Structure 1
C-alpha cells in the first residue's frame, strides 16, 4: 500500500487528478445520519480550497483558495480519437464535472502549478509555516495516543523521534490523520478497537469499537491492452521535451502523462508478475499499445485492517476483500466494463488505428476461450489491483450506528479530546479521487472543531440573536489583515457582516481605538455560517482574530 511519508501525505505521490465526485454520494452520507455532510455543505468547502486557473470554467469552482488547479488537454491524435469514440457510445463531452449528473467524458483538472506537483503540504503549510503557533516534526513516528483510562480522554501522543521516545502532551485535542491504514492501526495500538482482537495481540482494551472494519477501495483492472497502427509517437522529440521541462517547467513532462509500462515501475505487491510485464513490454517494442483500465467506483466488497502485533513498528495486516461480495456484483460490473471497452475500440473513430486486443501471458486463463466471459473473469481475478483509494476503517456515523467509530464531528465515540480526520471516516466510498475529498474534509473538520468548542473544551462561545432568531458569533478582530488596504478589508468582510458593520470595523481600524502599541480592534457579530468568510481574511496571519468567551475580550477562547 502506497504511503505519502511527508508533509502533504499521499498528495506528494498520487496522480494529481482533481475530481470532486457525485452529489448523490455526499447526500447519502447525510441520509445515513451525518448531518452537515451533504453536497450543499461540502461543495462550499471545495470552493474555499480551490484556485482554478483553467479558462472557461464556471463559478462552481473557487478562485481564491490555496489549491491551484489547471487543465492540460492532450494534443495527441489518439486522445482526440478516444474522445470521439466515447461520443459515438453516446457519452456526452463535459467541460467540467457535473456532480448532479456526472456521466460523460472529461479532461480532468490537475493539482499542478508552473509545471510542478502542487501537493497539499505546499498549498496549505507553505502559507502558514511561519506562524508562531504551528510546529511540524519530520522524521517522527507516532506510536500511540496516550489515553487516561480513568477519564477516558486523550492526553497526548507517544512519538519516536530518530530513536528517542518522547511524550507530547495535548492542551486541547489530539487529531489523528494517519490515513485509512495507519489511523486504525494507531487507535488499536492505543487500546481503541475490537476488544477480542486487541486481547489476542496483547493490547489492553480501553474502548471496544469496530476500528479497522468497513475497508472499501476502488479496484482497477490492468489487463486490457490494445495494439494500434499506425505507430503513435507520444513524445515527438524526447530531448526537446526534457529540455522544455527542466528549463521552463513547460511541455508534456509538466503534465500528467503516462506513456508506457516498464516491469521495474511496478512493485510486486501490485500483483503484476514480471513475466506479464515482460509480455506487455515485448509488444510495446514492436507496436504502439494503448492500455485502458476499468474501475469499480461503488464496490460492494469490504475488507479490514488488523494489528499483526502490539509493536508499532510492525506493519498492520490488510485484508483487502477485493471481489469478495456475496452476490458477485463487483465482478459483474468489471466484466460489463470490459465488454464496453470491446465495443469502444470497434467505433469508427478508433477503427482507423486497426486496434487488436492483446492476449496476455496468463497461464491460469489460457484454458478459457480468449475474450469469453470465463477468460475475462480469470483476467479480472489475476490483474485487479488497488488504485490506492482505501476508505472507511474509522467510519463516521450516528451514535446508534454499531459500525461507526466517530460521530459527525469526527470525535471518537467514548474517548474525549480525540478525533480522526482523513479518508478512514468515510461512511461509504464515493466515486472520486481522494485528494479533493480529504482536503475538503480537513476544512470541514476545522469548522467542526471550532463549532464544538463548547463541548470539547468546557467553554462557551458568546452568541447574540438577531430579531429573526439567527444565531451569531461575536468576534474580536484585533488588527487589520497584513498587506491589505482599507478597501480590501471592507470588501472582504462586507459579505459576512453587512455593509454597515463593515464600515464600523474599517473606521475602528483607521480612526483610533488603539492601544499603546498602535494595535487597533473592533467587534463584529456575524452569522455562524459566515465565520469562515471573516476568518479567510486572516489566513496569512491569524494572530489578530479571536472568538470571544462570555468573559469578554480578556477571556479569549482560542486563537484561530
Structure 2
C-alpha cells in the first residue's frame, strides 16, 4: 500500500498552493488528489472558453441545490470547477481580494493572525503584478500573473465612464486603498491565456520526484483512528483503493466537497451522523453550516448597434470569423474576453447611511459588466447584441448549509444557500438593481441603448423588483464558510493552525474556512488561504 507524508485533497485554488510549498522540501512525499481531470483544453486556456465550461460536466460539478423557499422554490445550480485548477480553471479570472474590513472582521471574531495587515504581505508574495499598480498593495515576483485585459470592448469602457451618472469614480485598482467606483478588472492571465492555480503553482514544478498528482480520483472518506487520520479511501472508475498518510491530510476540496468528506468520515454533528447511520468520530456541529454566497441579479439591455460581443449577421465578418486568427497572431479579438471585462463596487442607501469609517459604510454591492446580451429567458445564448450588468450583495446575512443526503451513499449532497432568508439581503439587492439602472441610464449609452429586457421598464416599484428577484436571482459562484475557522461553538478549524478541532493531523485549507464571506471574488483569497495554511504546516514541521 502506498504511503505519503502529506495527502492534499483537491487541486483547486488553495490546494495547488499547498502542494507547491510542501513539495519544495525534497525529503517529504506529497500526493495531490483531484477528482477531475486535465486542464489541457482550449475551453480552459482561451479566456472566452468560459462559455463552454459552465454546465459542462467534464469541467463543472453542476451540483443542484435544494429548492430555495424565498426564490419561488427554484433549484439553483452550484457551478464548481472539476479538474486541475478547480474553480480557478473555469472562473472569469477576475483578481479581487476583498475589502480591508473583511479581514479585520475575521480577526475581531477571534481569528487572530488574519487581519488585513497580516494577510496583505501574503497576497503580495503570491502576485506577479504586470499592470503597473502601487507596490504598497501589490507584489511583482510571485507566481500568479495579474494583468490588464488584452482587448477591452468599447462598451466596457463606456460602462466605466457611466459611473459619473451615479457619482461613482473611475477606480483603476480595486485591491488598493478603496474599492469604491467602476473600472476595468485586472485578470489572472499570461499573454491572453488563463492562469489558474494549477498553471501558476503546480505546472512549473510538476516534475518534482516527491510530488505525485492523481487525477480523476475521488476521495470518498478518511480513515480515522481515534484523533488521527491514517489514510484516505479513494474511488476511480468505480474501483476502490486507499492511500496511507504518515504526517497530515489536508482538505482543499472547497466549500462544497470539504464538508462532504468530513461528514462521510464521521466528523460532524453526532445526532445528524447517527441519523445517517454513520459512526461519529468527532462531534463538530458546525461542519456544513455557515454556507454563505453572493446572491446576484441582472439588468440586461438590447442594443440596435453591433458594438457588443454577440451573434448576428453584422458581427460575422468583422468579429466572429477573424477571432481565431486575431487571437492566434496578436492575442486580440473576441477570444480574449473573459466576458466580465469591467465592474466595480458601490454603496446603496443603506451603506451610505452607516457611520463613516465603519465596515457597514463600505460598498455593499459589486458589479460585473458584460458587453453581451445575456438571456432574459434563461437560455445559454441569445441572438443579437446588447449589454448586461450583474449586481450582487457583498455582505449577505443569509446563511445556508451543506449536508449529506440520507440516501445511504454518503456522496450526494443537500446544498441549501437559504438565499433571501434575511430580509436585509432582499432590501440591498432591490437597491442594487436601482443603482445598476442609474448607471446604465447614463448618456454614454444613448447611441447603443435599446429596450431593457430584464427586469423590463414595466417593473419599477420595490415590490415588483423583489418579485423579479425571487424569480431570477442566483449565485455568483462564491460559496464559502462551511468549515469555518473560529472560537465559537460552530467553528470547525482552529484559526492558528487550520487543524480540525479535536484532530491531530487533519487540516482544512480552502474557502470553506472563511468565517464570513469577503467583499468580492473568492479565487485570490483562496490562494492566500492556501499560502498561509502551508506556512502553518511548515512552521510546525
Q: Does the pair score TM above 0.5?
A: yes
Structure with more relative contact order (C-alpha pairs < 8 Å, separation 6 or more): 2
The answer to whether structure 1 residue 402 and structure 2 residue 492 are counterparts is no
Inter-partner Cα distance in structure 1 for 2:164 and 2:183: 11
Distance 1:448 1:111, change over 3 A: same
1:96 maps to: 173
Computing the radius of gyration from Cα coordinates, the structure with the larger value is 1
Deviation at 1:27, TM superposition (A): 0.8
Aligned to 1:243: 325
Partner of 1:253: 335
Match of 1:168 among 215, 225, 243: 243
Match of 1:221 among 288, 297, 300: 297
Question: 1:344 corresponds to which residue?
Answer: 439
Question: Aligned partners of 2:491, 2:417: CA distance in 1, in Å?
Answer: 19
Distance in 2 between the 1:162 and 1:73 partners?
Answer: 40
Distance 1:381 1:76, change over 3 A: same
Mapping of 1:293-332 within 5 angstroms?
293-309=390-406, 314-325=411-422, 328-332=423-427
> Which of 422, 427, 446 is the matching residue for 2:510?
422
Instruction: Indicate the residue corresponding to 1:123 in structure 2.
Output: 200
Shift of 1:3: 2.5
Alignment-derived partner of residue 233 in structure 2: 158
Aligned-pair CA distance for 1:163: 2.7
Shift in alpha-carbon separation, 1:8–1:279, aligned structure 2, 3 A: closer
Matched, 1:179 2:280: no
Give me the whole-angstrom Cα distance separating, in 2, the residues matched to 1:102 and 1:212: 31
| Pairing of 1:272-311 with structure 2 (within 5 A) | 276-277=377-378, 281=382, 284-285=383-384, 288-309=385-406
CA distance in 2, matches of 1:56, 1:37: 24
Match of 1:188 in 2: 263
Measured in 2, the distance between the counterparts of 1:135 and 1:358 equals 51
**What does residue 445 of structure 1 align with?**
533
Q: CA RMSD in A?
A: 2.3
Counterpart contact for 1:143–1:160, Cα < 8 Å: yes
Q: How many correspondences in the alignment?
A: 425
Note the 1:517-536 alignment, pairs <5 A: none
Report the CA distance between 1:154 and its aligned residue.
1.2
**Conserved? CA contact 1:6–1:12, under 8 Å:** yes
- The Cα shift of 1:410 comes to 0.6
1:410-463 Cα deviation digits (max 9, x unpaired): 10001110000110000100112111011111110011112233xxxxxxxxxx
2:430 aligns with one of 332, 335, 344: 335
Cα distance change of structure 1 residues 445 and 14 upon mapping to structure 2, 3 Å threshold: same
Structure 2 counterpart SS, 1:431 = coil
State the Cα distance separating 1:138 from its structure 2 match.
1.1
1:219/1:226 CA distance change after superposition, 3 Å: same
Decide whether the 8 Å contact of 1:214 with 1:304 is kept in 2.
yes
Seen in structure 2, the aligned counterparts of structure 1 residues 68 and 203 have a Cα distance that, compared at 3 Å, is same
Q: CA 1:134 to 1:77, structure 2 compared with 1: closer, same or farther past 3 Å?
A: closer
Call closer, same or farther: CA 1:433–1:87 in 2, change over 3 Å.
Answer: same
| TM-score of the aligned structures, taking structure 1 as reference length | 0.72
Secondary structure at the aligned position of 2:220 is classed as strand
1:382 counterpart residue number: 471
**Mapping of residues 493-508 of structure 1, within 5 Å:** none
Residue pair 2:373, 2:386 contacting (<8 A) in 1 also: no
**Which residue number in structure 2 is paired with residue 36 of structure 1?**
113
Deviations 1:447-501 (A, max 9, x none): 1112233xxxxxxxxxxxxxxxxxxxxxxxxxxxxxxxxxxxxxxxxxxxxxxxx
SS at match of 1:60: coil
Summarize deviations over 1:259-290 as a string: whole Å, max 9, x none.
Answer: 54677xxxxxxxx8xxx236993xx54xx322
**1:102 and 1:279 mapped to 2: Cα distance?**
31
Distance 2:95 2:81 in 1: 17
Structure 1: segments with no counterpart, 5+ residues: 264-271, 362-367, 454-560
Deviations along 1:489-541, one digit per CA (max 9) or x if unpaired, are xxxxxxxxxxxxxxxxxxxxxxxxxxxxxxxxxxxxxxxxxxxxxxxxxxxxx
CA contact (8 A) 1:308 1:317 kept: yes
Alignment equivalent of 2:288, drawn from 212, 218, 222: 212
Distance 1:278 1:180 in 2: 28
- After superposition, the Cα gap between the structure-2 partners of 1:243 and 1:125, relative to the gap in structure 1 and judged at 3 Å, is same
| Mapping for residues 482-493 of structure 1, pairs under 5 Å | none
Partner of 1:539: none
For residues 60 and 220 of structure 1, do their structure 2 counterparts lie closer, same or farther at Cα, with a shift above 3 Å needed? same
